[in-house]
Amino acid sequence: MSKRYLVTGGGGFVGKALCKELRRQGYSVLSLSRGKYPDLEAAGVHTKQVDIGSNLDSWVGLFEGVDGVFHTAAKVDMWGDYKGFYETNVLGTRNILSACRRAGVRNLVFTSSPSVIHTGSDLVNVDESIPYPEHYHAFYPQTKAQAEQEVLASDQSGTLRTVALRPHLIWGPNDTNLIPTIVERARLGRLTRIGAGENLVDLTFIDDCVNAHILAMKALENSPEIVGGNAYFISQGDPVKMWGWIDEVLAAHHLPPVRKAISKGVASAIGAVMEVVAKASSLFGLRIKPLLTRFLVSEMSTHHYFNISRARQDLGYVPSCSISEAMKKTFGDNRKVA
């Protein structure tokens, strides 16, 4: 009998790709998300509209008979009210954990982020031993870190076993976030290089991100004593210069490379001022989203790449392609170096 998996956030980039791959491999899949996604239904995925931050009793029954849960749902943004991040990323995750316990689900794979250990400084080939920072410059990494810690603390032999994955900058065909954001900003003339443009970063191709999730679930099922309660960095293991890669993405869309540049110090100062203005505007009922924040500045100007040896060893994770090969898979013959 085929195993039955539940995926939260099935309408998102990762969740949707994961649902479809699980179906391709012959598993029964139930997707929980806020919207309707006919393409998932067409792929044989059962879908339910659920707000995971809402009343747990109204949807906990959906977890009955589920062999494992992939919790990919999250509020991801550079800016916003703390309440929105907390309700989805923290309270929503608590609800998922409670639903698993009440329904007797044995395994949970949580989609986290390397931003949970983001300090604003360079992160060079760091591994999972790096501690959480004492302070965060944005609500997204703050709430994701809290959720990750609660997920890992919930790992318990004989009941619920958990793993957290930290894929970095996920992209590829059908990307709904990273690539579209870069292209849109470039077309609006709002893309400015921050710093010298030499900072190296890790990227994660969507196919490998999905594969890492499935490998993590299989590891929980077969060797929970090794992987249970652990976090794992996931990437291509092939760091690239962020701004050089951005220029390649722009070239694939027949756009010119980034010409404007600003120092990290000046950008940080501008970001801090924009944050103050945005916070002040909220007191008057206005919702002004800053174009630049201190968190975004540090993300775009520092080295941040990660050691994936632990994922290779414990999960059997092996990236399927290099960044160059992933570019070709994503953009095909449109790709050219700017």
Within-domain flag for 271 = no
Query: Please, what sign has the CA dihedral across residues 219, 225, 228, 230?
Result: negative
| Both structure tokens of 25 | 């491999």
Element containing residue 55 per DSSP (H, E)? none
Element holding 204 (H helix, E strand) = strand 204-205
Q: Domain for residue 14, yes or no?
A: yes
Residue 81: both structure tokens together:
């009210």
Q: Which amino acid would we find at residue 242?
A: M
Q: Using DSSP bridges, classify how beta strands 107-111 and 200-201 pair: parallel, antiparallel or unpaired.
A: unpaired
- Model pTM score: 0.94
Q: Tell me, yes or no, if 37 is annotated catalytic.
A: no
- Is 272 part of any domain? no
| CA pair distance 43, 37, nearest whole angstrom | 10
At residue 336, the pLDDT reads: 46
Which residues are CB-neighbours of 184 under 8 A, at least 6 positions away?
A: none
CB atoms within 10 A of CB 334: 12
- Sequence-distant contacts of 123-129: CB under 8 A, at least 24 apart: 123/302, 123/303, 123/304, 123/305, 123/306, 124/200, 124/303, 124/305, 125/305, 125/306, 125/307, 126/306, 126/307, 127/233, 127/306, 127/307, 127/309, 127/310, 128/230, 128/231, 128/232, 128/233, 128/310
CATH number at residue 120: 3.40.50.720
Residue 75: how many CB atoms within 10 A of its CB?
17
**Active site residue: 140, 232, 305, 317, which one?**
140
Residue with tokens 């609800």: 95
Cβ neighbors of 42 (< 8 A, separation 6 or more) are none
- pLDDT for the residue 53: 86
Task: Give domain status of residue 102, yes or no.
Answer: yes
For every residue of 205-224, DSSP letters joined together read EHHHHHHHHHHHHHHHHH-H
Amino acid 63 reads F
Distance CA 309, CA 312 (A): 5
Helix (H, G, I), strand (E, B) or coil at 198: coil
Distance (Å, whole) CA 247 – CA 251: 6
Q: Which domain holds residue 86?
A: 4-175+201-239+304-321
What's the confidence (pLDDT) of residue 334?
54
Q: What is the pLDDT along the chain (338 residues), one digit of tens a residue?
A: 589 999 999 989 999 999 999 999 999 999 999 888 999 999 999 999 999 988 899 999 999 999 999 999 998 887 788 999 999 999 999 999 999 999 999 999 999 999 999 988 999 999 999 999 999 989 999 999 999 999 999 999 889 999 999 999 999 999 988 999 999 999 999 899 999 999 999 999 999 999 999 999 999 999 999 999 999 999 999 999 999 999 999 999 999 999 999 999 999 999 899 988 888 877 777 777 888 888 889 899 999 999 999 999 999 999 999 999 999 999 986 544 43
- At residue 219, the pLDDT reads 98
The number of folded domains in the chain is 1
Answer yes or no: is 210 within a domain: yes
Does a structural domain hold residue 191?
no
Look at residue 72 and tell me if it is in a domain. yes
